[in-house]
Structure 1
Amino acid sequence: MFSLDPWSFPKSLRPDPLKLEFDLEQRLDALLQLHIQVPDQAYTAPILGTSRSGHGVVIDSEGHILTIGYLVTEAQQIWCRKRDGSVVQADVIAYDQPTGFGLLKSFSDLECGYIPMGKASDLSKHDKVYMLGHGGIHQCLKTRIAEVKPFAGSWEYLLEQALFIQPAHPEWSGSPLLNVKGELVGIGSLLTQELKQGQTQQSNMVVPTDLLAPMLNNLIKQGHSGLPPRPWLGLYLEEHDQQLVVQHASPQGPAEEAGILPEDLLVSVAGQRVQDLANFYRHVWSIGQAGVEIPLQIARGAELMTINIRSINRSERLIKPTTH
């Protein structure tokens, strides 16, 4: 169930506990290794799989666990392995689509402490940070902020201020990012690659925890942020030569049902020309909440056409979490 691969970063890439302003052992106690089982019929199963693993971090004395949401969306069972080897189960109490955060609650007391929140907004390029791994200090990485910039994903996802760290951690999913005070400032989401000066550079994209603070109380009490759900089209797009090209549409999703086809070129949204993912999402979301009709102009071969897509709430397609 749990991978216990004893790999290790070189000593030069690991934090030196004697030079830290915080107790690393205490922080590692609050780090959990997650194993998630998802039903075969889940909407996300073909893309994300039915057996998933990553990290979660305890963020308060009540036993709430923060992770990255794609690990736990449509989860049927979640096991959390503590540092001492004991295992407890947890429920999903919220998955916030706009940020990508997943919030869990353990069935029983964790008794492992928690990591206090810091401010990601205080971080600047080149600042030293630490990404933790469940394998103890040997799998903890001393790294730096490479960039703070918008990130747009092909799956209708946009962060206006994402953190990027280099060097990258190979087990980034749900991994906590700490500042020099040992405070939680982000949760690992992706491994990204970028070609710079003829060389491929890898970074981890990290979701800043500043996005969590304003909605945490609502997530705990209501299971959602309290904001209206965004319109979802079920489109997967890629940027190519200042054009947006349809990779594919989600099966039986709004875009597919409206007639969008792979390789269609997206020209405009409600009359507003778009050439990149970020602006496309901003225009779509500005029209209204889930359920609103989104008019898209597309180019198919030499033909220009307008297709109106009736959006939905993305969560309607997902298996709802059960609580124990």
Structure 2
Amino acid sequence: MASSRTLAVGMALALALGLSAGTVSAAPALHVDDAPPSGVTQQRLALKRASDAVLGLLSTATEDASSIDTLGEQRSGSGVVIGNDGLVLTIGYLILEAEDVELVLDSGKRMPARVVAYDLASGFGLVQALVPLGVEPVQFGQAQAVAEGEPLLVVSGGDEGALSAAQLVSRRSYSGYWEYHIDGALFTSPPRTDHSGAGLFNARGELIGIGSLLVPDAQSNGPRRAGNMFVPVDLLSPIFTELREHGLSRASMRAWLGVNCVEQDDGLRVLRVSRDSPAETAGVQPGDLIRRLDGTPVGGLESFYKMLWNGGSAERDIALEVLRDGHTQTVPVHSVDRMRTFTRARGI
């Protein structure tokens, strides 16, 4: 398995020399024994260490996990070693309500791990190996310092682990239809289907993002271009202590309704209502057009979420004005703290 994720010298050279992702595949193939050009050795070693620090991650959700409906019981992806104590950074949905977690080394060996944190607000997850990994942790870069068009490296782990070059095609706020929002999300292209928890690295081998989504349009302007969304590591530093001590950040304890929506010119169209959610209890229906929250126009997803999260306590009475079958009506909803709805992962 290890040979499938060997860092090719040609790719390392292309990244180090600042070639665009579109030209990486044309980089000259070199043999491992070939001496690299002067000044490239350190970058090559840094990229090799970065690649080695990305592991596979397997998890099994608890039997009664509500997230099984959307994420399934068995989940697989990647994680990146960030601490000498075996701490691994991943995307949170892989370990949400997890009963068992294993890390998969390049050799294929599986190592037991425990969940340290699941952070709803950022999307990050932390797990810790229960036995020594013998893997050197990565260095962190600054996602905000990466320029659009800059060549990057995407690395996944596990039995099918792979690496490829990519470009940063845009950086912008991202609002997910499932009541999720982050600032400064990184969008790369070409797309990878094994993006969940994958590491995004700059040419110095520094971690700048954790893979979250496959998106149909990674560019903010111009022709549509499929790609991936990565959560920037810049979001981790301000909440790292909270995650280690409490298993989540304060920002994760926020109001939740349980609606999946898309933006329309005159409001937010409800596509789906989560099972046993406050919205379902209140009678919100797919097809409803949400126009106001507590009397204030909702605007887009971002403004709707911020009104919901910042408008009071996580658990409170909220009035939604919806348009249904041509008639406007007010639907009272009692929001809940989203984190209270999850089965606590084993280890937290």
| TM-score over 0.5 (shorter chain) | yes
- Counterpart Cα distance in 1 of 2:127 and 2:98: 11
- Partner residue in 1 for 2:54: 31
User: In the alignment, residue 298 of structure 2 is paired with which amino acid?
Assistant: V
- Partner residue in 1 for 2:320: 296
User: In the alignment, residue 170 of structure 2 is paired with which amino acid?
Assistant: E
1:43 aligns with 2:63: no
Distance 1:129 1:289, change over 3 A: farther
1:180 aligns with 2:180: no
Q: Structure 1, unaligned stretches of length 5 or more? A: none
- Counterpart Cα distance in 1 of 2:159 and 2:110: 17
Q: 3-state SS of the aligned residue for 1:218? A: helix
Distance 1:83 1:91, change over 3 A: same
- Counterpart Cα distance in 1 of 2:26 and 2:134: 26
Give yes or no for contact 2:140–2:206 (8 Å, CA) kept in 1. yes
Give yes or no for contact 1:178–1:184 (8 Å, CA) kept in 2. yes
Distance 1:181 1:136, change over 3 A: farther
Match of 1:86 among 100, 103, 109: 109
Give yes or no for contact 1:234–1:255 (8 Å, CA) kept in 2. yes
Moved more, 71-80 or 285-294: 285-294
Identity of aligned residues (%): 32
- Partner residue in 2 for 1:223: 247
1:67 aligns with 2:95: no
- Partner residue in 2 for 1:284: 308
- Partner residue in 2 for 1:312: 336
Distance 1:172 1:242, change over 3 A: farther
- Counterpart Cα distance in 1 of 2:329 and 2:310: 22
- 1:71-99 deviations in whole A, cap 9, x for unaligned? 11011111111113222111111100011
Moved more, 146-155 or 132-141: 132-141
User: In the alignment, residue 77 of structure 1 is paired with which amino acid?
Assistant: D
- Counterpart Cα distance in 1 of 2:329 and 2:154: 48
Q: Shift in Å at residue 7 of structure 1?
A: 9.6
Moved more, 206-215 or 285-294: 285-294
- Partner residue in 2 for 1:238: 262
User: In the alignment, residue 135 of structure 2 is paired with which amino acid?
Assistant: C
- Counterpart Cα distance in 2 of 1:171 and 1:119: 23
Distance 1:13 1:266, change over 3 A: farther
Moved more, 187-196 or 172-181: 187-196
1:122 aligns with 2:145: yes
Q: Shift in Å at residue 67 of structure 1?
A: 0.3
- Partner residue in 2 for 1:212: 236
- Partner residue in 2 for 1:21: 43
Which TM-score applies when normalising by structure 1?
A: 0.91
Moved more, 223-232 or 150-159: 223-232
Give yes or no for contact 1:14–1:141 (8 Å, CA) kept in 2. no
Q: Matches of residues 134-149 of structure 1 in structure 2 within 5 Å? A: 134=157, 139-149=162-172
Q: Shift in Å at residue 322 of structure 1?
A: 1.6
- Counterpart Cα distance in 1 of 2:77 and 2:160: 17
Give yes or no for contact 1:6–1:135 (8 Å, CA) kept in 2. no
- Partner residue in 2 for 1:163: 186
Q: 3-state SS of the aligned residue for 1:201? A: coil
1:267 aligns with 2:286: no
- Partner residue in 1 for 2:18: none
- 1:144-197 deviations in whole A, cap 9, x for unaligned? 110001111010001121110011222110001111221111000000003989
- Counterpart Cα distance in 1 of 2:148 and 2:160: 25
Distance 1:165 1:52, change over 3 A: same
Q: Shift in Å at residue 268 of structure 1?
A: 1.0
- Partner residue in 1 for 2:17: none
Q: Shift in Å at residue 4 of structure 1?
A: 9.6
User: In the alignment, residue 72 of structure 2 is paired with which amino acid?
Assistant: G
Q: Shift in Å at residue 128 of structure 1?
A: 1.7
Q: Shift in Å at residue 248 of structure 1?
A: 1.5
Q: Structure 2, unaligned stretches of length 5 or more? A: 12-23
Larger Rg: 2
Which TM-score applies when normalising by structure 2?
A: 0.85
Give yes or no for contact 2:186–2:231 (8 Å, CA) kept in 1. yes
- Counterpart Cα distance in 2 of 1:112 and 1:192: 31
Give yes or no for contact 1:57–1:115 (8 Å, CA) kept in 2. yes
Distance 1:4 1:190, change over 3 A: farther
User: In the alignment, residue 317 of structure 1 is paired with which amino acid?
Assistant: T
Distance 1:6 1:14, change over 3 A: farther
- Counterpart Cα distance in 1 of 2:74 and 2:94: 9
Distance 1:226 1:317, change over 3 A: closer
Give yes or no for contact 2:58–2:76 (8 Å, CA) kept in 1. yes
- Counterpart Cα distance in 2 of 1:198 and 1:220: 41
